Amino acid sequence: MNGIQASLVRSVGVLLIAASVAFSVAPAPLSAQDADGPYPAMVTLIPNPRTDLTFARDVAPIIQANCETCHRDGSVAPMPLQTFEDVRAFAPLIREKVSKRQMPPWPIDRTVGVTEFKNDPSLSVDEIRTIVDWIDSGMALGERTDLPQPIAWPDGKTWEFESELGTPDMVLRSPIYNVVADGMDKWPTPITPLEDVQIDGEPLTRDRWIRAVAVRPHSFEARRVFHHANPGLIMPGEMPDPMEPESGRIKLIDSAVGTEGRIFPDNQGRLIRPGSSVSWGLHYHPYGHDIEAALEVAVWFYPDGFEPEFYSMGDVQMQTSMTTYSGNFSPRSGARDPSGRFHDHSDILIPPHSVATVKGVHVLDRPAMMHSIRGHMHLRGKYEVLEAIYPDGRWEVVNKLNWDHGWHTLFLYEDHAAPLFPKGTVLLMTSVFDNTTENPHNPDPDQWVTGGDRSIDEMGHIRLGLTYFDSEEQFQQMVQERERALEERASDLAGDQ
Ligand code: HEC
């Protein structure tokens, strides 16, 4: 980060509380050397590394806690990092990936906007320096007795959130789909009626409120061909538009590599009714041999009879291109504004060897809390920016998502940092595409690129996890609670120093 940026961040301060909106901007502790890459904040390494570090005592606990979840046999990463030998063999690559903050993956610009997230896996600067210094000083093993206890990883059949919420109340599975070895990308959208699903041995007979949802491919093999899914809920009596099967429904959850589920904030949830169906909205791509694939979705409910105060829309998809979609659902029924259309990328046109942008605008017609953000672009994607202009005229960057096609990360805000937007807030969305040779993912910079579903076409949308407030009073109450929470945090932080 340069001096001007640094002082700006400092003058904004840790906690920004203003008239009718409150979210926190934490100062970015790192230097931003390569502002354009997917992971811009590199760690500035100081010379004179510590030389007394050992793998067993200092490094293994960091790797175990932050890498093993993906870097172990049977998980998503290409190689395990579970032993001294594993880590030593990959030391040069590990040094590069952690110091550039490319691992663990967290493709967001840390120098602007909201920086506090529930699911941020990033290493601290100290942890990065420990790994790098240990590598630079010759990689001592140390005493094996210092090694942390190995983690007993589940066999891959437990759910995200299971340790917090227990076994899911309902598990749905999409019909098996055969993804043939040499086929094309496929977008099957089968529909599963909830009548076929049992909850505690009973069919769903009453309205229930969803507290959390998690998704996983049904097998390790299926993970290989799974690109993403947008499972949606079709309420009783509602039919999707046959021309556009992803329309006419609200999202149950969406999922892709990097997004495995969500828990709604306290007292917020999604309604599910008897007689509803799930439409799966899958995207598979071939992987060298024939693979039978299905997706599983686990749902945890609020207790029977409990109705949370706020109905959450879950993810609302906002286009950066030609925003005709208004996002105005009626809160309780979940009905969609008929003027809204989900898919419209018709104004994306990217000339060869160029950097291009598309923009979208959305004005909130009700106050809202935003609990998550997730970008979506394809191979020419560079970054997406969400800005907010408040009714009082103040303007702010909410987040800049640095697109990395390998990671469709869902960024879940900490409760005290989730932006609160007053009615009338203008949300500005910009997608920036790079169709030059500078973009390492670019399959062919000589091509014109238009909007479309294939990875070689482009898309530009941002999904906001939104909960709308039915009344201004509810919203003001939320803002006051937030201000109190932030003041408490500020005094706790001051007390710690
Ligand atoms: C969320 C899962 C996940 C986590 C957590 C994670 N990795 Fe990775 N890692 C991957 C995947 C998937 C790849 C291969 C694709 C890529 O490079 O993005 C990868 C690639 C790598 C590579 C490059 C391998 C190669 O051959 O190019 C290194 C090195 C690496 N990870 C180290 C680490 C370290 C060290 C940590 C912990 C500090 C870590 N990773 C945490 C999933 C993860």
Helix (H, G, I), strand (E, B) or coil at 484: helix
Q: 452: Cβ below 6 Å to ligand 1?
A: no
Q: 94: Cβ below 6 Å to ligand 1?
A: yes
Q: 103: Cβ below 6 Å to ligand 1?
A: yes
Encoded amino acid at 434, one letter: D
Q: 71: Cβ below 6 Å to ligand 1?
A: yes
Regarding the domain delimited by 309-327+340-497, which CATH topology (the fold level of the hierarchy) does it fall under?
Answer: Jelly Rolls (2.60.120)
Q: Report the percent of the chain where pLDDT is more than 90.
A: 29
Measured in Å, residue 465 CA sits from the centre of ligand 1 at 27
What's the number of CA atoms in the CB half-sphere (13 Å) around residue 362? 29
Q: 89: Cβ below 6 Å to ligand 1?
A: no
Q: What is the dihedral of CA 64, 69, 73, 75, to 10 degrees?
A: -160
Q: 90: Cβ below 6 Å to ligand 1?
A: yes
Higher pLDDT, 142 or 468: 142
Report domain extents, the chain: 33-146, 155-308, 309-327+340-497
Q: 93: Cβ below 6 Å to ligand 1?
A: yes
Nearest to 227 by CA among 278, 184, 172: 184
Q: Helix 91-99 to helix 125-136 angle, to the nearest 10 degrees? A: 150
Q: What is the pLDDT of residues 348-389, one digit of tens each?
A: 899 999 999 988 888 888 898 888 898 888 899 999 999 999
Q: Measured from the CA of 90, which atom of ligand 1 is nearest?
A: 29
E strand or H helix that includes residue 313:
strand 310-319
What distance in Å separates the CA atoms of residue 411 and residue 53, rounded to the nearest whole number?
33
Measured in Å, residue 290 CA sits from the centre of ligand 1 at 27
Find out whether 48 and 150 touch, Cβ atoms under 8 Å.
no
Nearest to 416 by CA among 482, 330, 335: 482
Residue 138 CB neighbour total at 10 angstroms: 8
Question: In 67-192, where does DSSP find H-type helix?
Answer: 84-89, 91-99, 125-136, 162-165
Higher pLDDT, 383 or 307: 383
Residue 21 pLDDT > 70? no
Q: 102: Cβ below 6 Å to ligand 1?
A: no
Domain 155-308, classified CATH 2.60.120.230, yes or no = yes
Q: Measured from the CA of 67, which atom of ligand 1 is nearest?
A: 37
Q: What is the mean pLDDT of the chain?
A: 78
Q: What is the pLDDT of residues 391-444, one digit of tens each?
A: 999 999 999 999 987 787 888 899 899 999 999 999 998 999 999 999 988 999
Query: What is the reported pLDDT for 352?
Result: 97
Grade residue 144 by pLDDT with cuts at 50, 70 and 90: very high
Residue nearest to atom 8 of ligand 1 (CA): 103
Grade residue 20 by pLDDT with cuts at 50, 70 and 90: very low
